[in-house]
Amino acid sequence: MYFVETIVALATPLGRSGIGVIRLSGDDALGIVRRIVNDAEFAPEPRNAVLHQLYNTDASEVIDQALITYFRAPHSFTGEDVIEISCHGSPVLLRLVLDECLSLGARVAEPGEFSLRALAHGRMDLTEAEAIRDLIDAQTIAAARQAVRQMSGEFSHQLQPMKDELLDVIVVLESALEFVEDDLPELQMENLGSKLRSVVDAIAAMTATYKVGHLVREGIRVAIVGRPNVGKSSLFNALLGDERAIVTEIPGTTRDEIRERFVVDNIPVSLVDTAGLRETSDTVEKIGVERARRTMIDADIVMAVVDVTDDDIDDDLEILKSIEAMRHVVVLNKIDKSADESVDAFLIRLLDNLSSNVRQHVKISAKSGAGLEVLKSALIEPFSPADLNLDGFLVADARHHDLLRRAHDEIVNSVELLRSGTSEEIVLVGLHNALRFLGEITGEITTEDMLTRIFSTFCIGK
């Protein structure tokens, strides 16, 4: 894969900062920078930062003074000539430098295009490229550590022995198909079956880490629901430790969803505060109520908040009965305003009117903070295996998990066919499929559609 155009992008976040980095990659990168520094002989030593003035196109005006670092092909991130211009981080200034690069023949990079070029030039495989995206998007230390491990090639290193073993079996069966008239000896068939079973076990062990890996990478979605004025927004703010949602005594204050993220024991939690569930004639509030019901359905776990100081529990019961089939926790709020005996009596009354499916509950005070740590643990407990281990490598991407699972199933089916005496030609179909699936993980086998789908999730500049 050869890229004709030189691309440019801002490699640091948008906004005011001390330093902003503009990155160019391509055959014309050095030529473009020579025009910007107004020096046709400019030839910086690779991998050494040089301080230089930047000029506009006609060299009539100095734009800025910047550090310029040159990475000569193929020893660069993309495998092409790469130049990084470290300017002062004024958004206006960075825009001006970018415009100069564009006027001199560069074009704006697509999301992930630098990483795509690195993949095309063999500077990394697909799992390592995806790890760069995951590292940038990491919300916890555990997620960042997993991304770094994958970025260093650990996933590929673990997959390679499986692919080698699978290829060894394919070679033997292909040879038998072409050159051996009689069936393979029984001992040799046993040996091939044993090799395939060891590959199956290795893939299964790797696939089994997905539950924890996906949890660390994606986190869980939590919806806070309940009738108006039970303290949903107060709880939302208390969990975040910030006054994010507006809290008033007026029912129906929250009309639209408010979403924020926080972390519990290295697990990202996406928290959604929803409109109070009630019948209403207000058009805007009615839309909020409908959205709240949809959010409940999409959530990984629902926090149903009830007010222990309110004796009227009919509406609470209706809400709780509607979430019986969902993973949920009942939150008894405002315990700071009620005696322990009253809270216990309220709970008994509530549970007596519900099925056995609605039992998990936590007593809290959003105002004082009492019980919040218990509630946080209750939120992640259903998703965290008892042997949660973040030290080993974890499969975290749904694409990787799907391909591993499909490879596993193909090999298992091939083992059964081999055991039943099916011809080598039929057995090989599944083994070739499995090898292709494993190759798709690392990018050895790719399609344009697959690469487009993957790299569109990257940020521009990477």
Burial of 16: CB neighbours in 10 Å, binned 0-12, 13-18, 19+: exposed
Taken in order 323, 256, 268, 159, is the CA torsion positive or negative? positive
How many CB atoms neighbour CB 339 within 10 A? 9
Same domain, 100 and 157: no
Residues of the chain with pLDDT under 70: 1-2, 178-185, 244-257, 276-289, 356-359, 384-391
How many CB atoms neighbour CB 179 within 10 A? 7
Total tally of structural domains belonging to the chain: 3
Whole-structure pTM value = 0.76
Domain-located, residue 109:
yes
Q: Which residues contact 456 (CB under 8 A, 6 or more apart)?
A: 111, 112
Which one of 59, 91, 123 terminates a domain? 123
Same domain, 316 and 372: yes
Same domain, 200 and 315: no
Same domain, 280 and 360: yes
CATH code for the domain of 136: 1.20.120.430
Same domain, 33 and 176: no
Which pLDDT score is estimated for 251? 47
Domain with 62, as residue range(s), is: 7-123
Domain-located, residue 454:
no
Same domain, 336 and 270: yes
Which pLDDT score is estimated for 259? 84
Domain-located, residue 386:
no
Which pLDDT score is estimated for 460? 85
